[in-house]
Amino acid sequence: MPNSQSGQVIELRRSKRERIEKNLGERFFTFLIEGDPSTYEEAISSPDAPFWKEAINNEYNSIMENNTWFLADLPLGSKPIGCKWIFKKKLRADGTIEKYKARLVAKGFTQKKGLDYFDTYSPVARISSIRTILALASIHDMLIHQMDVKTAFLNGDLEEEIYMEQPEGFIAKGQEKKVCRLVKSLYGLKQAPKQWHNKFDKVIVEFDFVPNEYDKCLYSKNTNESCVILCLYVDDILILGSSLELINNIKNYLSNQFDMKDLGETNLILGMQVSKRKEGYTLSLAHSIEKMLRKFEYFDKKSVLTPYDSNVVLKKNEGSPIEQHRYSQMIGSLMYITNRTRPDIAFAIGRLSRYTSNPNQSHWTALDRVFRYLKGTLDYKLHYSRHPDIIEGYSDANWVTDSHDVKSTTGYVFTLAGAAISWGSCKQTIIARSTMDSEMIALDTTCTEAEWLRNLVMHIPISVHPVLAISINCDNKSVIELLKHDSVNAKMNRHLQLRFKSIKSLLGKYVVLDYIKSEKNLADHLTKGLSRTLILESSRGMGLSP
């Protein structure tokens, strides 16, 4: 078929033979090109062109088999949106190439609201939800399998009238002036995620799955003999089941509804390595951390024992920024690591991210320390085990520590099955006038998360029922005593009164408060820099270890 730009004949046609997925081998590497092609021409002229051509054909065949569009004349007054080929090598956990992927993406940024799209919202499973069901799977010794929906967004049905230019490499001969009238959604369209989720939700509910009211991407199906949980993250599906027969039944149903790839027992989800042990499951980002360390040239540097030096006072830079773009890149990479498996660096990243727009040398020194700490703790994993089978929370706050920052820091962490499932470290939104005020603000944030977690697990059939109120450990006796009273303290300002009433409304049914010493409080390291002994103890308390 002729290429619309070069005029050369490129052998890219729809194959009539049955497509067989190519196995690139266990240790397949490529050294001929660096990175992924950025254009169609670059892909088909690269040393890896045979692989990219096959990926392009597979994508185009999937689109055609799905009846995504038909060719039509462009109506007067209408303007077609463009499209582009995107190329990506999918890697295994050890860095080897698993497959070459080509994706045809519509240029949705040219769409106009109210004309060719309306609603765009689509739910995505929370990372906390994924860690929670992983902990539950450890407790109940469940199997975890994974499936991938091929060209997931192509399954959504469009309600709007949208026209798109014909894709590069597949311009229909003799119909060059026609455009693609989209019938189903395509990657890049603003409404594509929403339409795909709506379609999946309809299909899975028809198979008697019940969506979780507190995370719309979690589904469960329960009978007297068995239970299965399904978690959707865009096009990745986790299936947790009490038996292989039950899981295979779900796989067969999904394969009949969509074009699916069976990945077997899960070992990689959202970049996180999942490993099954005799005692349960582990969650790790070792490969991603190593890749990040190599990218920013820290892999060969000497490691340190703590992520943050408590003796350092960071303040806003009044001068010119130092390598602001690189600083932002590094903070972004660290935030990804923190939010998935490394709560031990949450305080350091939360503090350093405040200076992303204008970093100075002291900020760079502190950032350097985090990378060196990760170098020494590269193999840390979250270890989920068979017990305990109840959620426990920890709350803490660090009142104003220096004259340069008048707002305190909130820290919280929740554990289940011996490891952390949810955590946070953030600057408080209002100014606390005392230690007790800052603890009250932190406790309100912690209780809000506890309420959501309890509601989440309460709607998962395998959870221990009845779901008890979550015990939250706090190291401030004054706050605990204050919350025993029904009346609001007259000295409280309006913001604290609201938080007081919010916590009181949750006490008893959703949460109970317990006192704990500061050195035993797992949330302590989420509010300040600690010594290496305390960092090690809190890490072990959250299930983090090699």
pLDDT band at 490 (very low <50, low <70, confident <90, very high): low
Residue 161: band (very low, low, confident or very high) from pLDDT cuts 50, 70, 90? confident
**Maximum CA extent, the chain:** 82
Please compute the mean of the pLDDT values over residues 32-53 and round it to a whole number.
82
CB 150, CB 58: distance < 8 Å: no
Assign 21 a pLDDT band (cuts: 50, 70, 90).
Answer: very low
Are 129 and 235 in contact by the 8 Å Cβ rule? The answer is no
**pLDDT at residue 507 in the model:** 92
Instruction: Taking residues 172-185, report their average pLDDT.
Output: 90
- Distance, in Å, from the CA atom of 428 to the CA atom of 409, rounded to the nearest integer, reads 6
Q: What is the mean pLDDT of the chain?
A: 87
Region 450-459 average pLDDT: 95
Express each pLDDT in 516-532 by its tens digit: 999 999 999 999 999 99
Q: According to DSSP H, which parts of 319-360 are helical?
A: 324-340, 346-352
Examine the pLDDT at 33 and tell me if it is beyond 70: no
pLDDT in tens, 256-289: 999 899 999 999 988 899 999 988 999 999 999 9
Q: Is the pLDDT of residue 31 over 50?
A: no
Among the listed ranges 7-11, 225-229, 240-244, which one has the minimum average pLDDT value? 7-11
Q: Is 233 strand, coil or helix?
A: strand
* Distance of alpha carbon 345 from alpha carbon 213, whole angstroms: 31
Q: What is the pLDDT of residues 418-429, one digit of tens each?
A: 999 999 999 998
Q: What average pLDDT does this structure show over 456-478? A: 89
Give exposure, 458-480, as e/b (b: 16+ Cβ within 10 Å): ebbebbeeebebbbbbbbbeebb
The Cα-based distances of 462 to 150, 436, 465 in angstroms read 30, 38, 8
Q: Look up residue 147 and give its two tokens.
A: 């499936």
24 has pLDDT over 60: no
The whole-number pLDDT of residue 402 equals 57
Model pLDDT for residues 188-234, shown as the tens digit of each residue: 888 888 888 989 999 999 999 999 999 999 999 987 778 899 999 98
Q: Provide mean pLDDT across the span 154-178.
A: 88
Kind and range of the H or E element at 541?
helix 532-541
Residue 364: per-residue pLDDT: 94
pLDDT of 228 reads 92
pLDDT-above-70 percentage for the chain: 91
Angstrom distance (rounded) from CA 342 to CA 286:
10
Answer whether residue 329 shows pLDDT above 90.
yes
Distance (Å, rounded) from C-alpha 376 to C-alpha 384?
A: 22
**Mean pLDDT calculated for residue range 162-184:** 90
Tell me which architecture the domain covering 387-545 has in CATH: 2-Layer Sandwich (3.30)
pTM comes to 0.82
pLDDT, residue 1, reads: 40
In the chain, ranges of CATH 3.30.420.10 domains: 387-545
Given a cut of 70, is residue 489 above it in pLDDT? no
pLDDT for residue 93 is more than 70:
no
Residue 187 has a pLDDT of 84
pLDDT at 440: 92
- Percent of the chain whose pLDDT exceeds 90: 56
d(CA 331, CA 341): 16
Question: Could you give the 3-state DSSP secondary structure of residue 14?
Answer: coil
Q: Encoding tokens for residue 196?
A: 């795909």
Banded pLDDT at 8 (limits 50, 70, 90): very low
The whole-number pLDDT of residue 3 equals 43
3-state secondary structure (DSSP) of residue 108: helix
108-126: average pLDDT: 79
**Least reliable range by pLDDT among 11-25, 135-149, 280-294:** 11-25
- The secondary element (H helix, E strand) that includes residue 450 is helix 435-458
Q: Does the structure show a pLDDT above 80 at 486? A: no
